Amino acid sequence: MDPTYHIKLSYQPNLSPTYYRDDSALVHQPHLYEFAATLARLYEAHTLIDIGCGRASKLMPYYPEFEVIGIDTGENLAYCREHYAGGQWLDLDLDTPDVLKFDPALLQKSVVICGNVLEHLRHPEYLLDSLRHILEHAPVVLLTTPDRDLSRGYDHNGPPPDPSRVREWNKWELGHLLKSAGLRPEFLGYIARDNLSFAKTTLLAILANHHRPKLTQAPDDFRVLAVMHTFNEADVVEATLKRLFENGIDVWVVDNWSTDATHDIVAQYLGKGVVGLEYFPAGGSTGLRQWREQLSRTEEIAASANYDWYIHHDADELHESPWLGYRLKDALYYVDQCGFNAVNHSILNFYPVDYESLLPQLNHIIQLNYFAFGEHPAYLSLIRAWKNLGKPVNLQHQRGHAVLFEGRRVFPYKFLMRHYPIRSQEQGERKVLKERLPRLNMERQRINRGGNHYDHILAGYDFVYNRLELEFFEPMRFADEYLIERLSMIGVIFRDMSIGMGKDHYTHQQATRAYEAEIMRLKARIADLEDMQKYIFGSGD
């Protein structure tokens, strides 16, 4: 292994670290253990193994749902043995060459946590070697460590101000360290440092099992079909279709008798990515949405079309791979190869931030760049892509939010869904006040159904957001900074962010924090680009 552990040559480590006592009132990495437990459920695991467990205050809330194994030494381990009857507590100095050994059958049903341990070790290669052996059997290891650049500044040359730490890495260095140790970081990004600041300055590496398939381009004979229902989507449908085609997805469009140019726009792509186009209901418009019946039609199409995977896809949304640079088709093929048959989604709602209508030369994907997470508990289950198992599926039971079928195994990491419900003031007034609410009211009378999240909107409503209420979307930064949120929705604060709810309450303090966070993100991006330049071109002039 590189004697510098892939840290810049000017860095000075602390080779005489003190013992780390886990007695802080702060909760470090407050979302890490919830994320680990979520993965354990989806991987059908029964054990959480915590390497460097400290006093196990974050681990024990998940007992007895899971068996827990904590590994530490000294006072921390003595505390665990004294206070927790449940759990298994192993005494091991991680700075020795002793390799952690577990029964392979146990590891196969375990999620392993290694939170903020690496920086305390004089010989991190011993731990990394143990993790490599563990990942011969365990499905995943979650490893965290503070980012030196974001925590100390880009010119920091060590040693760490915390005397219990030996050295610290930045993101670029950590990625090289892990790969050089034979580990496979499936994701590498940032999580909240603690429950006081929630600053995104802690690195999280999600390390995959060594025997998992490689993420590659899907073969031509792997076929995916998106079934899209439309009603008056002329302003977005073409851009959505093109994005699906670019991602290797065929499309079947079911149009609910649009009164604008939606049907004609889609018809231009018949045989060019659109494999089916029909009106629903076939006999003519009823003036109703008939959503349950539309979902039944999607179930019929999925039962009769000969595709490997299906997506229930709206015209005003984009489904995306969680891996930058890979098409949606490639990502679904990887999920399939990993043995899972359904995909959940994290949702971002994009909104207009000024009073101008969309410029004719720009589509909504390009022009609408400000978002908020879909901050409602209903968005936790958006299982909208599934494998064709030759069995009937049910979309109606959860009104299209989640597909149900026998033997469903949901992939542990959520894909991303970018949703564009309102594109401008004019479009919002037309969609909600003239089209959606009248049809919904008629539908309620027919099926005696309750309210809708648009019910509070009246004539004169302002559909446009102050941009300070939202966040600017930049794909690479978003993928880095919102790692746990985008893969699980953990860490998203659930408040009703339906159209119009929570608007105009952005304080000066919030604006200041947003500004400071933006400066920090820009500095981090500049540092990443500088590191990349040095890596590619060398450190010389």
**What is the pLDDT, as a whole number, of residue 418?**
97
User: Per the domain annotation, does 480 fall within a domain?
Assistant: no
Residues 246 and 104 both lie in one domain? no
User: Per the domain annotation, does 65 fall within a domain?
Assistant: yes
515 pLDDT more than 90: no
- 3-state class of 505 per DSSP? coil
Of 358 and 304, the one with more pLDDT: 304
Query: pLDDT, tens digit, for every residue of 493-511?
Result: 754 444 444 444 334 444 4
User: Per the domain annotation, does 465 fall within a domain?
Assistant: yes
What is the average per-residue pLDDT within 172-178? 98
- Residue 159: cis peptide before it, omega within 30 degrees of 0: yes
- Paired sense of beta strands 317-320 and 415-419, if any: antiparallel
User: Per the domain annotation, does 501 fall within a domain?
Assistant: no
532 pLDDT more than 60: no
Is there a contact between 19 and 75 (Cβ–Cβ < 8 Å)?
yes
Residues 316 and 196 both lie in one domain? no
Distance of alpha carbon 224 from alpha carbon 251, whole angstroms: 9
Residues 112 and 197 both lie in one domain? yes
Query: Got the DSSP string for 250-272?
Result: EEEEEE---SSSHHHHHHTTBTT
Element (H, E) at 342: strand 342-343
Q: What values do phi and psi take at 413, rounded to 5?
A: -110, 130
447 pLDDT more than 60: no
Query: pLDDT, tens digit, for every residue of 113-135?
Result: 999 999 999 999 999 999 999 99
The vertex-330 CA angle with 325 and 331, nearest 5°, equals 80
526 pLDDT more than 70: no
Residues 378 and 351 both lie in one domain? yes
60 pLDDT more than 60: yes
Query: Residue 394's closest CA among 380, 408, 409?
Result: 408
Query: pLDDT, tens digit, for every residue of 374-424?
Result: 877 778 899 999 999 999 999 999 999 999 999 999 999 999 999 999 998
User: Per the domain annotation, does 215 fall within a domain?
Assistant: no
User: Per the domain annotation, does 92 fall within a domain?
Assistant: yes
Based on the structure, what is the number of domains in the chain? 3
Confidence of residue 431 (pLDDT cuts 50, 70, 90): confident
Q: What values do phi and psi take at 311, rounded to 5?
A: -130, 130
Q: Which of 141-150, 154-163, 215-224, 459-468 has the lowest mean pLDDT?
A: 459-468
Confidence of residue 193 (pLDDT cuts 50, 70, 90): very high
Helix pair angle (171-180, 124-134), 10° resolution: 60
**What is the pLDDT, as a whole number, of residue 469?**
85
Q: Which of 449, 472, 495 is the last residue of a domain?
A: 472
Cα four-point dihedral sign 291, 293, 297, 303 = positive
Report CA 2 to chain centroid distance, whole Å: 33
Q: What is the mean pLDDT of the chain?
A: 89
Q: Which of 173, 208, 243 is the last residue of a domain?
A: 208
Residues 356 and 433 both lie in one domain? yes
Name the token pair of 290.
């008939």
User: Per the domain annotation, does 137 fall within a domain?
Assistant: yes
Distance of alpha carbon 501 from alpha carbon 498, whole angstroms: 6
Contacts of residues 66-72 at CB distance under 8 Å and 24 or more positions apart, as own/partner, are 66/37, 66/40, 69/110, 71/100
Where b means 16+ CB within 10 Å and e means fewer, 433-447 reads bebbbebbeebeeee
**What is the pLDDT, as a whole number, of residue 25?**
85
**What is the pLDDT, as a whole number, of residue 246?**
98
Element (H, E) at 332: helix 328-337
Q: What is the domain-level CATH number for residue 87?
A: 3.40.50.150
Task: Tell me how far CA of residue 25 lies from CA of 28, 49, 71, 351, 464, in angstroms.
Answer: 9, 23, 21, 39, 42
- DSSP at 394: B
Q: What values do phi and psi take at 404, rounded to 5?
A: -120, 140
Q: What is the domain-level CATH number for residue 360?
A: 3.90.550
Residues 457 and 432 both lie in one domain? yes
**What is the pLDDT, as a whole number, of residue 509?**
43
Residues 153 and 283 both lie in one domain? no
Query: pLDDT, tens digit, for every residue of 332-374?
Result: 999 999 999 999 999 999 999 975 555 666 688 888 999 999 8
Residues 37 and 149 both lie in one domain? yes
Q: What values do phi and psi take at 302, rounded to 5?
A: -65, -30
Q: Which of 417, 447, 472 is the last residue of a domain?
A: 472
**What is the pLDDT, as a whole number, of residue 458?**
65
Looking at the DSSP bridge assignments, the partners of residue 419 are: 317, 349
Query: Residue 483's closest CA among 42, 156, 171, 215?
Result: 171
**What is the pLDDT, as a whole number, of residue 500?**
40
Residues 186 and 228 both lie in one domain? no
Distance of alpha carbon 58 from alpha carbon 74, whole angstroms: 19
What is the average per-residue pLDDT within 513-517? 47
Element (H, E) at 202: strand 202-208
Distance of alpha carbon 86 from alpha carbon 475, whole angstroms: 43
Domain range for 65:
32-208
Residues 56 and 175 both lie in one domain? yes
46 pLDDT more than 60: yes
Helix pair angle (171-180, 508-537), 10° resolution: 50
Distance of alpha carbon 1 from alpha carbon 125, whole angstroms: 8
Name the token pair of 456.
């509070």
Residues 173 and 228 both lie in one domain? no
87 pLDDT more than 80: yes
**What is the pLDDT, as a whole number, of residue 78?**
97
Confidence of residue 539 (pLDDT cuts 50, 70, 90): very low
- 3-state class of 278 per DSSP? strand
User: Per the domain annotation, does 91 fall within a domain?
Assistant: yes
Residues 79 and 198 both lie in one domain? yes
Confidence of residue 306 (pLDDT cuts 50, 70, 90): very high
The H-assigned helical ranges of 58-147 are 74-83, 104-108, 124-134
